[in-house]
A and B are shown apart, each in its own frame.
Chain A
Amino acid sequence: MHTLTVKDVRIDDTFAEAFGMRATAVIITADSLRWARQAALTMTGFATSVIGCGCEAGIDGELTVTQTPDRRPGVRVLLFAVSTAELQKQLQTRVAQCVLTSLGSACYAGLEGEETLRLGNALRYFGDGWQISKRFGGKHYWRIPVMDGEFVCEATTGLTKQAVGGGNLLIMGRTAQTTLAAAEAATAAIAKMPDVITPFPGGIVRSGSKVGSKYKGVPASTNHAYCPTLRGAVATALDPDAACVLEIVIDGLTSEAVAAAMGAGIAAVTELGPDRGAVRIGAGNYGGKLGPHHYHLRELLP
């Protein structure tokens, strides 16, 4: 399959297969970037995969004081789920438990959309009658009294049905250290791209999965074809020079954003070269029958 080579890094002539998702975005601000990030990190914790967490979430980027509604430092958080109802539930509980509770925080819509999700409209009841509604500039905000002052929260945020989840890159290297260097270079490049997140810890997954299992009732299990320790025992997908595989999963608000992020990731890995980084880049798919979005690596090369 290794028909492509860029800067001595082999690139599989294959594609990543991704799925349509519902997504939303919020902007979290605080008196300092440290506390805006803290609220966002707490809110996006345990949100790596819709299979076990209900949603996939992450920080899209940091916002300067000129980019936020209240002119304080902030971050933009993206949330992805498989249904509007689940997305609403996850948004509501996560903002209520992780942002409302974080000191000095405020929460605003991070996405314009014809359809909306309840944000402050759902949280205002915490005010127990002392909440204050404010409308200006075409926006609706709720002010909820809390112990350090007020929690300001926009009434609603936008919803998109054009989002894509599951764009991915498989990064294979000669050692764990060089593979990690390549994966970190890719996540750093993807972090700069707008409208995408990499929901796994540090943006990197080491336990890529396949659909199904030998055990009844287990929906997904280890992707044995990419496990280096099983290379001799199973029909492996690994080359002799690969000792470690790390995956980067990308969720984006649009298909174009996912494609651009994958391209940025590939460029960063190939830039590093096979000695300091990865020897080969692949992508995960299910034969093209499950997901409507196909990202062919050959079309994303730098």
Chain B
Amino acid sequence: MKPLVLTLRERPDQRLDLAPLVPHRLAGMAAAEIERIELQTTRSRLALADIFRLRMGDATHVRIEASCDRLDRVGYEMAGGEIVVEGDIGMRAGRLMTDGRLTVHGNVGPWAASGMKGGTVEIFGDAGDHLGGPSPGEIAGMRGGVVLVRGRVGERAGDRMRRGTIVVEGIAGAYAGSRMIAGTLVVVGRTGPLPGYLMRRGTIMLGEGSDCLSPTFIDCGVHDLVAARLMAGFIGKHSARAAEILNRPLRRFAGDMAALGKGEIFARP
């Protein structure tokens, strides 16, 4: 099945909203209809054909080529199928996604996978701040699914996360896993200061430790847990480097005692 390919003609003058370009919304549309979809975010109207060269194909597999960081909300509320992006994209990629797969061969902006409920997001470059985090006013951030970032992430990755798994193979900025409600965040590289800040429940795995762990996390000793090995079996399918961290004894810190205190940070002994 040939994918539906959208090739960016040139960097747009304004930020664009690519929310309509998800497989379930494109299904059954003719080429002419797709080309008329409006994507502007300012008063200056822009139809898809003004910005992209369209090569029709099966809408369950969308490819965005020559992408740039002004393309926002790629994979918004995506409910199935696949989107592959060649290049960088802007903010809120994969927001509120429920199923399917979003792959980005480049960097993504802030709030990637924000409020995501299911499916898989894989980012081969770096991700901005608030990975998986809630939009302002929302109670919970990510609620399910798997996010893989092969590069670095900004601050507050997994903010207010409630369920699901985030794996960061690079380094993470400050406050990784802040205000986590539950879920799992694995950072293979080093994390910035105060990971798990005010987390209630949930699990954070630190491959290379943190610049500064909050004193409100209590050392529970070194343990070789079955649960970590179980998780390694699952995460190993996505990231061998992350699984390696889990397959050895880890020091457990319980916290954040400034909040509910039923969360945990695992670090090298």
* Surface stretch bound by B, among A83-91, A135-143, A201-209: A135-143
Q: Which of B224, B231, B237, B262 contacts A134 (CB 8 A)?
A: B231
Residue A190 is within 8 A (CB to CB) of chain B in the complex: no
Q: Is the CB of A152 within 8 A of B234?
A: no
Q: Is the CB of B227 within 8 A of A150?
A: yes
Q: Is the CB of B226 within 8 A of A136?
A: no
Q: Is the CB of A136 within 8 A of B165?
A: yes
User: Which B residues touch A71, using CB under 8 A?
Assistant: 229, 233
With A134-B203, A135-B163 known to touch, is A152 a contact of B182 (CB < 8 Å)?
A: no
Task: Give the nearest-CB partner of A104 in chain B.
Answer: B226
Residue B230 is within 8 A (CB to CB) of chain A in the complex: yes
Q: Which of B224, B227, B237 contacts A143 (CB 8 A)?
A: B227
Residue A72 is within 8 A (CB to CB) of chain B in the complex: yes
With A133-B182, A136-B165 known to touch, is A152 a contact of B227 (CB < 8 Å)?
A: yes
User: What mask results when residues 128 to 155 of chain A are scored 1 for a CB within 8 Å of chain B, else 0?
Assistant: 0010111111000101000001101000
Q: Which of A29, A137, A141 contacts B227 (CB 8 A)?
A: A141
With A69-B233, A70-B233 known to touch, is A134 a contact of B184 (CB < 8 Å)?
A: yes
Q: Is the CB of A70 within 8 A of B230?
A: yes
User: Which A residues touch B230, using CB under 8 A?
Assistant: 69-70, 106, 134, 141, 152
User: Which A residues touch B234, using CB under 8 A?
Assistant: 136-137
Q: Is the CB of B201 within 8 A of A132?
A: yes
With A136-B165, A137-B234 known to touch, is A150 a contact of B225 (CB < 8 Å)?
A: yes
Task: Give the nearest-CB partner of A143 in chain B.
Answer: B227
Number of A-B contacts (CB under 8 A): 49
Residue B36 is within 8 A (CB to CB) of chain A in the complex: no
**What is the bound-complex CA distance between A150 and B184, given in angstroms?**
18
Residue B11 is within 8 A (CB to CB) of chain A in the complex: no
**What is the bound-complex CA distance between A29 and B229, given in angstroms?**
12
**What is the bound-complex CA distance between A137 and B165, given in angstroms?**
9
Residue B24 is within 8 A (CB to CB) of chain A in the complex: no
User: What mask results when residues 70 to 105 of chain A are scored 1 for a CB within 8 Å of chain B, else 0?
Assistant: 111000000000000000000000000000000000
**What is the bound-complex CA distance between A141 and B224, given in angstroms?**
17
**What is the bound-complex CA distance between A259 and B262, given in angstroms?**
51
In the assembled complex, how far is the CB of residue A154 from the closest CB belonging to chain B, in whole angstroms?
10
Which chain B residues in 221-269 approach chain A with CB under 8 Å? 223-227, 229-231, 233-235, 237, 262, 264
**What is the bound-complex CA distance between A141 and B230, given in angstroms?**
10
**What is the bound-complex CA distance between A130 and B227, given in angstroms?**
15
In the assembled complex, how far is the CB of residue A204 from the closest CB belonging to chain B, in whole angstroms?
35
**What is the bound-complex CA distance between A72 and B229, given in angstroms?**
9
Q: Is the CB of A136 within 8 A of B225?
A: no
Task: Give the nearest-CB partner of A31 in chain B.
Answer: B226
Q: Is the CB of A149 within 8 A of B229?
A: no
User: Which B residues touch A137, using CB under 8 A?
Assistant: 234, 237
Q: Looking at B224, B225, B235, which has the most chain A CB atoms within 10 Å of its CB?
A: B225
In the assembled complex, how far is the CB of residue A182 from the closest CB belonging to chain B, in whole angstroms?
42
User: Which A residues touch B144, using CB under 8 A?
Assistant: 135
User: Which A residues touch B262, using CB under 8 A?
Assistant: 130, 132
Q: Is the CB of B184 within 8 A of A136?
A: yes
User: What mask results when residues 140 to 163 of chain B are scored 1 for a CB within 8 Å of chain A, else 0?
Assistant: 000010000000000000000001
In the assembled complex, how far is the CB of residue B180 from the closest CB belonging to chain A, in whole angstroms?
13
Which chain A residues in 147-191 approach chain B with CB under 8 Å? 149-150, 152
Q: Is the CB of B163 within 8 A of A152?
A: no
In the assembled complex, how far is the CB of residue A12 from the closest CB belonging to chain B, in whole angstroms?
49
User: Which B residues touch A69, using CB under 8 A?
Assistant: 230, 233
Q: Is the CB of B201 within 8 A of A152?
A: no
**What is the bound-complex CA distance between A81 and B226, given in angstroms?**
31
Between A and B, 27 residue pairs with Cβ closer than 8 Å are A29-B226, A69-B230, A70-B229, A70-B230, A71-B233, A72-B229, A106-B226, A132-B201, A132-B227, A132-B264, A133-B182, A134-B184, A134-B227, A135-B164, A136-B165, A136-B184, A136-B231, A136-B234, A136-B235, A137-B234, A137-B237, A143-B225, A149-B223, A149-B226, A150-B225, A150-B226, A152-B230
A-B complex: 5 closest residue pairs judged by Cβ atoms: A137-B234, A152-B226, A136-B234, A70-B230, A143-B227
